């Protein structure tokens, strides 16, 4: 096993399940607190995130229809436990791969988000220095998404088997569709009658969130996991591809907006139609803006690695990981019906 090259000591940086920042040094980040304090921070954020995800897992509690009690909070466990398992697998996939390649990595810092449908914004891992070899870059970049998927798929399948097909009445959240999700629904639920949909068991929704997390991370742009995997595969040429993919997110936003506008403009007032189309497509515009900011802070291009090629086996893993993004791509991750 080759040892990655390390630059001179540099401040820590962070990566997130949803944010995907790279372990490239960024100035202005304060030094880490003492080790004992860090462990307390890790534990405190983890507990806060578990509570937040439990809260999100009980819709009645989330909507204020039930009082906030421990018994009512625990009702959300069928969503919270499987989602936390997926997030832990994702983060510790990165952590173990980083340790294997002797890249300094912290334990995950989880981010609670109690007002969101998911209850969390993922987790952050702090790394020192940059990853030197393509082999290490691939292993660290791909390990998180692949480890998360190992748990997300069986969790989703179990949840779908315990979900119900019902007639659509009223309004509600509609989860995004991707090739893998559609296939799993077809295999587990079977044909869905017109005017009906699968009303997801909380565990199925947790599995679907796992697919969404993985899809976001595998966008092949600079500092995301997909960007790391693509750079490990093709080297500096990835910088030009990343720019095209980044601006391609604007095209996804525009196509989404146009589709939903044309779908509703004859049956709804103009203002309502514009608002609905914006709501359905805003996800990709927000991500375009976030990645633009991330590229500006990190210097634009992916940090270089030492010369060297991947083995055939690792090339196959890299290609398979990028193809996984295609299977998971959701044009409209969340919408309303």
Q: What is the pLDDT of residues 151-173, one digit of tens each?
A: 999 999 999 999 999 888 877 77
- How far apart, in whole angstroms, are the C-alpha atoms of residue 329 and residue 310? 26
**Among 282, 320, 318, 324, residue whose Cα is nearest residue 179:** 324
* Structure confidence at residue 238 as a pLDDT band (50, 70, 90): confident
Q: Residue 281: its pLDDT value, please?
A: 85
Q: Residue 233: its pLDDT value, please?
A: 92
CA dihedral 24→27→29→32, nearest 10 degrees, is 70
**Among 107, 102, 110, 108, residue whose Cα is nearest residue 139:** 102
By the 8 A CB rule, do 138 and 314 touch?
Answer: yes
Residue 32 pLDDT more than 60?
no
* Structure confidence at residue 264 as a pLDDT band (50, 70, 90): confident
* Structure confidence at residue 305 as a pLDDT band (50, 70, 90): confident
Q: Residue 20: its pLDDT value, please?
A: 45
DSSP states along 235-293: TTHHHHHHHHHHHHHHHHHHHHHHHHHHHHTTTS-HHHHHHHHHHHHHHHHHHHHHHHH
Q: What average pLDDT does the segment 310-322 reach? A: 94
| Predicted structure pTM score | 0.84
DSSP states along 10-28: ---EEEETTT---S---TT
* Structure confidence at residue 34 as a pLDDT band (50, 70, 90): low
Q: In Å, what is the CA distance from 147 to each residue of 78, 103, 185, 187?
A: 21, 19, 22, 23
Burial of 251: CB neighbours in 10 Å, binned 0-12, 13-18, 19+ = exposed
* H helix runs in the chain, sequence order: 35-57, 59-62, 70-74, 77-100, 134-161, 179-188, 202-217, 225-234, 237-264, 270-298, 312-328
Residue 8 pLDDT more than 60?
no
Q: What is the pLDDT of residues 187-224, one digit of tens each?
A: 999 888 888 889 999 999 999 999 999 999 999 997 78
Q: For helices 225-234 and 237-264, what crossing angle results, to 10°?
A: 140
């Amino acid at each position: 096993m080759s040892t990655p090259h390390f630059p001179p000591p540099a401040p820590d940086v962070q990566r997130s399940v949803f944010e995907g920042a790279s372990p490239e040094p960024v100035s202005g980040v304060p030094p880490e607190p003492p080790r004992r304090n860090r462990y307390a921070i890790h534990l405190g954020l983890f507990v806060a995130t578990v509570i937040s995800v439990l809260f999100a897992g009980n819709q009645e509690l989330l909507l204020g229809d039930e009082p906030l009690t421990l018994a009512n909070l625990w009702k959300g466990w069928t969503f919270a436990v499987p989602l936390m398992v997926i997030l832990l697998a994702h983060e510790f996939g990165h952590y173990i791969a980083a340790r294997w390649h002797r890249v300094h990595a912290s334990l995950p810092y989880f981010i609670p988000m109690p007002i969101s449908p998911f209850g969390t914004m993922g987790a952050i891992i702090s790394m020192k220095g940059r990853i030197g070899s393509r082999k290490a870059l691939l292993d660290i970049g791909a390990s998180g998404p692949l480890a998360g998927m190992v748990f997300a798929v069986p969790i989703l399948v179990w949840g779908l088997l315990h979900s119900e097909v019902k007639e659509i009445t009223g309004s509600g959240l509609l989860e995004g569709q991707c090739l893998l999700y559609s296939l799993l629904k077809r295999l587990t639920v079977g044909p869905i009658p017109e005017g009906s949909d699968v009303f997801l068991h909380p565990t199925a929704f947790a599995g679907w969130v796992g697919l969404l997390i993985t899809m976001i991370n595998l966008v092949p742009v600079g500092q995301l996991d997909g960007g790391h995997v693509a750079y490990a595969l093709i080297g500096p040429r990835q910088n030009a591809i990343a720019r095209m993919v980044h601006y391609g997110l604007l095209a996804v936003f525009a196509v989404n907006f146009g589709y939903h506008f044309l779908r509703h403009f004859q049956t709804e007032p103009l203002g309502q139609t514009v608002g609905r189309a914006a709501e359905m497509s805003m996800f990709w515009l927000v991500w375009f803006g976030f990645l633009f900011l991330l590229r500006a802070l990190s210097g634009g291009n992916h940090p270089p690695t030492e010369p060297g090629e991947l083995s055939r086996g690792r090339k196959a893993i890299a290609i398979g990981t990028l193809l996984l993004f295609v299977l998971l791509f959701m044009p409209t991750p969340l919408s309303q019906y």
